[in-house]
Amino acid sequence: MKILSKSFGAYATNCYILIKDCGEIIIDPGDGALEFVRQNCKNLLAILNTHCHFDHIYDDKKIKDEYNLPIYVPKDDAFLCSKDPFGMIEEPFNPDFLVEPDGSLQIADFTLKFHHFAGHTPGCSMIETNGVMFSGDFLFKGSIGRYDFPFSSKIEMKNSLKKALNLGEFVLYPGHGEKTSMSEAREFISYFIERL
């Protein structure tokens, strides 16, 4: 699997295109990602979101309208696509598939698992495929996601951090900033569990 990444919008939100022989999957298409798709995709299969904050779903509908593709989001975040608490989404939409917490998906040759780590948002997930993890706004290089937004939960964040300690080794591709790994993350996860 080949991974392309590019950041978009005022918050430099990372968008990822996963490429296999069968086609491509896009994760978290921010503001302007439609052009990234046009340049790099031959057979785009689906749009996936780690969570549904506006900067991660911004171009979902534009890409769906142009390519006629299904949008998959974590079930507990679906409401944010039609009711953006930040008022930044131009065209609210309803996602096509709501992925259950810790649910798995098969899309062509892509086997995917949405690991549920609520706290930043109710449905916040890390998406695992091919031995790597797209960590959204749950884990970053050296830090964790914010838990003070509307619909965030500090208690759920703490529980999610405890749950994350049980994960094996993965490279992490976060929603903002550089990639990291679970072994790096484990060190600061313990720090935050003690302080939350």
Which residues of this chain interact with Zn ion, rule CB under 5 A?
53, 137
Q: Compare residues 53 and 179 and give the one whose CB is closer to Zn ion.
A: 53
Q: Compare residues 31 and 137 and give the one whose CB is closer to Zn ion.
A: 137
191-86-178 Cα angle (round to 5): 40
55-11-178 Cα angle (round to 5): 105
Q: Are 20 and 109 in contact (CB under 8 A)?
A: yes
Distance in Å, CB of 157 to Zn ion, minimum: 12
Q: Compare residues 4 and 88 and give the one whose CB is closer to Zn ion.
A: 88
Cα dihedral across residues 54, 60, 63, 65: positive or negative: negative
Q: Are 77 and 150 in contact (CB under 8 A)?
A: no
Distance in Å, CB of 95 to Zn ion, minimum: 16
Q: Are strands 97-99 and 71-74 parallel, antiparallel or unpaired?
A: parallel
Q: In 3-state terms, what secondary structure has residue 9?
A: coil
Distance in Å, CB of 51 to Zn ion, minimum: 6
Q: Are 43 and 32 in contact (CB under 8 A)?
A: no
Q: Compare residues 11 and 67 and give the one whose CB is closer to Zn ion.
A: 11
Distance in Å, CB of 137 to Zn ion, minimum: 4
Q: Are 170 and 132 in contact (CB under 8 A)?
A: yes
Distance in Å, CB of 139 to Zn ion, minimum: 12
Q: Compare residues 89 and 107 and give the one whose CB is closer to Zn ion.
A: 89
